Amino acid sequence: MNVLGIETTCDETAAAIVAPGEDGRGVIRSNEVLSQIAEHAAYGGVVPEIAARAHVEVLDRLIARALDRAGMALKDVDGIAVAAGPGLIGGVLVGLVTAKTLALVARKPLLAVNHLEAHALTARLTDGLAFPYLLLLASGGHTQLVAVKGVGDYVRLGGTIDDAIGEAFDKVAKLLGLAYPGGPEVERMAEAGDPERFALPRPMLGRRDANFSLSGLKTALRIEAERTAPLAERDVADLCAGFQAAVVDVVVDRVRVALRTFSGVAGHPTALVAAGGVSANGAIRRALAALAGEAGLAFVAPPLALCGDNGAMIAWAGIERLRLGMTDDITAPARARWPFADVPPAEAPRAEATAG
């Protein structure tokens, strides 16, 4: 079984071929990613119209290259998976219309995949992980703690009530004059910084629900930056280190709460899993690995190449769905918003859920 995966929901155009391996993991036969970062950099963020146009310009060639690298033609694949949302609607439409066209022409099953679900299932592609597991999904647009119980069976334990973690990294980077995307820049600067110099808050620490709030931390950092301006490189490094340390403390505390509520919703987890662009952050990975160790759990985070948006995760989510007969037809809609996890049932031992 070989599945083509197509990803165009944000600023990466991606196509990949993945097959199920014998050990429960996936075999990535090709994984082509073209980042549009250079096209958006001047604007300090992703411009939806530029993104959609850039996807149109390269997607057909990228799919051809993914097939080529895997040594295959379109007729050889067993399914065509595409991220049908959530994301920037122009880009989503480019991917979805392309996938529908290929599926019709080549008479292949179409798999309209939720982009977040694809991040959530990446730990099974890379590590063959069994259900259920606790997932921290943190990217530029989303921050959620989710009990992953099965394919299509996700319970949201908490999430951000304002900024996503990646968004906070990006905004802090912009404020400090660093490049976009901000996460890797802030992490790089933080390495040389003193995390103790600026006293920054740890929002939501100690709360009984597993929600996040990042906007107060971002504001506190802005006030410190304005007070210290003009900023020397040392100041920027210390601000980055302080911010990252605060985020790490918040993440550890929130995940700890989610681990406590997990059993009431899904039983005993097989692992703590991090996914999404933010899971590339070394400090966050180290802290989560330590927390998992404390709890006697394995910690699984994708290799860096699979943390950000990619086609392999879409293809894998397609395989998971195809194996269960969960295919889609030509009417599958493109969705700008598409929550993938339900809030838990009322009897779950936790405080109220907040949408975000």
Annotated binding site for substrate: 137-141, 170, 183, 187, 281
CB of 205 to Zn ion, least distance (A): 27
Q: Which of ligand KG4, Zn ion, none lies near 166, with the C-beta cut-off 5 to 8 A by kind? A: ligand KG4
Interaction of residue 121 with ligand KG4, rule CB under 6 A: no
Which of 214/236 has CB closer to Zn ion? Answer: 214
In degrees, to the nearest 5, what angle opens at C-alpha 196 toward C-alphas 190 and 197?
Answer: 90
Contact between 255 and 145 under an 8 Å Cβ cutoff? The reply is yes
Give the 3-state secondary structure percentages of the chain, helix then strand then coil, rounded to 5. 45, 20, 35
Among 7, 117, 162, 187, binds ligand KG4 (CB under 6 A): 187
For residues 58 and 274, give the distance between their C-alpha atoms in angstroms, rounded to a whole number.
Answer: 30
CA angle in degrees (0–180, nearest 5) for 14-147-203: 90
At residue 350's C-alpha, the angle toward residues 135 and 148, to 5°, is 25
- Output the six-digit token pair for 189: 């600067």
Picked from Zn ion, ligand KG4, none, the partner binding residue 184 (CB below 5 to 8 A depending on kind) is: ligand KG4
Tell me how far, at minimum, the Cβ of 160 lies from ligand KG4, in Å: 13
Could you say which residues in the range 306-325 bind Zn ion, by CB under 5 A? 309
Of positions 4, 6, 10, 266, contacts ligand KG4 by CB under 6 A: 10
As measured in angstroms, the least distance from the Cβ of 74 to ligand KG4 is: 27
Q: Is 169 in the site for ligand KG4 (CB under 6 A)?
A: yes
Among 277, 311, 318, 344, binds ligand KG4 (CB under 6 A): 277
> Which one of ligand KG4, Zn ion, none is in contact with 182 (Cβ closer than 5 to 8 A by kind)?
ligand KG4
Radius of gyration from C-alpha coordinates of the chain = 20
Residue span binding ligand KG4 (CB under 6 A) among the ranges 18-26, 154-162, 163-171, 325-333 = 163-171
> In Å, what is the CA distance from 216 to each residue of 47, 156, 213?
26, 23, 7
Identify the bridge partners of residue 30 per DSSP, sorted by sequence position: 17
d(CA 137, CA 202): 19
Question: Which strand (E) or helix (H) includes residue 286?
Answer: helix 282-294
User: Could you list the residues that contact Zn ion (CB under 5 A)?
Assistant: 139, 309
User: Could you list the residues that contact ligand KG4 (CB under 6 A)?
Assistant: 10, 139-141, 166-167, 169-170, 181-184, 187, 276-278, 280-281, 308-309
